[in-house]
Amino acid sequence: MSIDYSEKIPNNVDLAGDRKLQRALESWQPNFINWWKTMGPAVPTEDVYLRTAVDVGKEGWAQFGHVAMEEYRWGVFLAERGDDRRIAFGEQKGEPAWQQVPGEYRADLQRLIVIQGDTEPASVEQQRRLGETAPSLYDLRNLFQVNVEEGRHLWAMVYLLHAFFGRNGREEAEALLHRNSGDLDSPRILGAFNEETPDWLSFFMFTYFTDRDGKYQLGTLKESAFDPLSRTCEFMLKEEAHHMFVGTTGIDRVVTRTCELMREHDTDEIAPHGGIPLEVIQKYVNFHYSVSLDLFGSEQSTNAANYFTAGLKGRWQEERRRDDHRLTEDSGTIDLVRDGKVTQDEVPALLALNSDLRNEYVKDCQSGLKRWNRILEKLGFDARLYLPHVGFNRHVGLFSDHHVTPAGDLIGEDTWKAKEDSWLPSEADKVHVQSLMRPVYEPGKIAGWIAPPTNGINGKPFEYEYVHLA
């Protein structure tokens, strides 16, 4: 059997010279392709204008071109670094980073990788039917780009499982394909990844808010003492940036179109005119933001503390922080409800690491809000979009037993029930958004609820035939 591994599976992990990895990937790949065919994008295509990661260099890490999706070359890449990387935090700070999995942390590291890996194919499954209602070929292409890259991220995690975790790792890699989003018997691990992405507004919200959670999770794993994990995540972050770009500009374009319609018809009630009212956009922000906050886990977490102390998972931009990177003596604050009030509490810093990461995420989310509000301002509207309070609509963590309004007020069950539909997408809102979802597959054309992008992909114009449908 002679296979040109670098051609079939682009990589910088010496796949051609690693018998163990070859064998593992060879038996895994057909199952992956099979999964892609049954759980991947439902719209049949000839080929799609996609970027493919082929290298890790600063210049030209990716190639663009039309490829048939099942022939996409999912590769394995680790960011390149010097060999002398040292552990940046925790008990073993200053010691050389690990090139192998220390047996002591096998179970924890495997768990972290499996959880991360589980989210990657999950979003592909969630977005499986979205192509059927794409507002333009440009958007359809972006959807597929996100999908194949989530697929590659799955490969990246599978690579780690195959290369470093022995038989156990291979079994876990296999299981990543057997759990499916929304499957009653074998669902994805995290709740947020078992909800279908029903419409494109949700897709943009998902890529803005939920993929951004992914960015922060990857950011903490990038700090890991386990060097292959660290380098893998660093490279994944490169691709993740595009996914968030899709979300950011997608929402830009929805807001822009909404403003246009409001101006055109001189009313906020643009639903009858085929637009998405600003109020509905706000509700979608409320929903996706709060669901994504849940992904950070409980505000106070001993797991996170253990991972940090062991060196498995650091903080966002760990090495830029000015403290002792051990945190055994420090304290942090967490948000919580006490005595009927939303307040803060001081706890040992190690226990507040999830809060710390979440706070970084919240700051980052604000930037999109600013951006969309600038569009509103520029187009002469006074209304503004905002992020709801961190305690709003939470199902995980210290707020999960309470009801908090978007403004941050504690309310009772009855009030919540009465007001819920004004804060979160109501059945009617969803039905309306769904009604707008009609495919537009003609090059250069776009659906009426969203503005066209200002730029195309890789210097190509918007009218470019990014996707050849089958």
Partner 1 sequence: MTEETGTIDAAGTEHEETPAVSFDADPATYRHWTLDTSGAAETGVAYLRLDIDEAGGIVPGYELKMNSYDLGVDIELYDATQRLRFSHPEVRTVVVTSGKDKNFCAGANIRMLAQSSHPWKVNFCKFTNETRNGMEDATANSGQTYIAAVNGTAAGGGYELALACEQILLIDDNSSAVSLPEVPLLGVLPGTGGLTRVIDKRRVRKDRADVFATTSEGMRGKRAVEWRLVDEVVPKRAWDETVASRAASAAAASSRPADGTGIELPPLQREETADGITYQHVKATFDRDRGLVEITVLGPEGGVPESLERVHELGAAFWPLAMTRELDDLILRLRANELELGTWLIRTRGDVEDALAMERVIERHSRDDWLVNEVRHYFKRVLKRLDVTSRSLIALIEPGSCFAGALLELALACDRQYMLDGTLADDAADDPSGPGQGDEAQIMLSASNFGTFPMSNGLSRLGSRFFGDDDHVAKLRQETDRRVEAREALEMGLVTDAPDDIDWEDEIRIMLEERASLSPDALTGMEANHRFVGPETMESRIFSRLTAWQNWIFVRPNASGPDGALRRYGTGRKADFDRRRV
Report the interface residues with partner 1, using CB under 8 A: 19-20, 23, 100-107, 164-167
Minimum Å gap between C-beta 235 and partner 1 is: 23
Burial of 243 (0-12, 13-18, 19+ CB in 10 A): buried
Q: In sequence order, what are the beta bridge partners of 96?
A: 86
Minimum Å gap between C-beta 164 and partner 1 is: 7
> By C-beta, is 165 or 423 nearer to partner 1?
165
CA distance 368 to 259: 17
DSSP at 41? -
Minimum Å gap between C-beta 24 and partner 1 is: 8
Structure-block tokens of residue 35 = 């999964």
Nearest by Cα to 405 from 384, 424, 387, 391:
391
Minimum Å gap between C-beta 111 and partner 1 is: 13
> By C-beta, is 107 or 431 nearer to partner 1?
107
Minimum Å gap between C-beta 84 and partner 1 is: 21
Minimum Å gap between C-beta 167 and partner 1 is: 6
The answer to whether the beta carbons of residues 40 and 69 sit under 8 Å apart is: yes
DSSP at 207? I
> By C-beta, is 105 or 423 nearer to partner 1?
105
Nearest by Cα to 98 from 14, 219, 223, 236:
223
> By C-beta, is 65 or 102 nearer to partner 1?
102
Q: Between vectors from CA 122 to CA 318 and to CA 450, what angle results, nearest 5°?
A: 90
> By C-beta, is 162 or 432 nearer to partner 1?
162
> By C-beta, is 167 or 322 nearer to partner 1?
167
Minimum Å gap between C-beta 102 and partner 1 is: 6
Output the 3-class SS for 78-114: CCCCCCCCECCCCCCCCCECECCCCHHHHHHHHHHHH
CA distance 430 to 437: 11
> By C-beta, is 101 or 112 nearer to partner 1?
101
Structure-block tokens of residue 100 = 């192998």
Write 323-328 long-range contacts (CB < 8 A, 24+): 325/88, 325/89, 325/90, 325/93, 326/89, 326/90, 326/91, 326/93
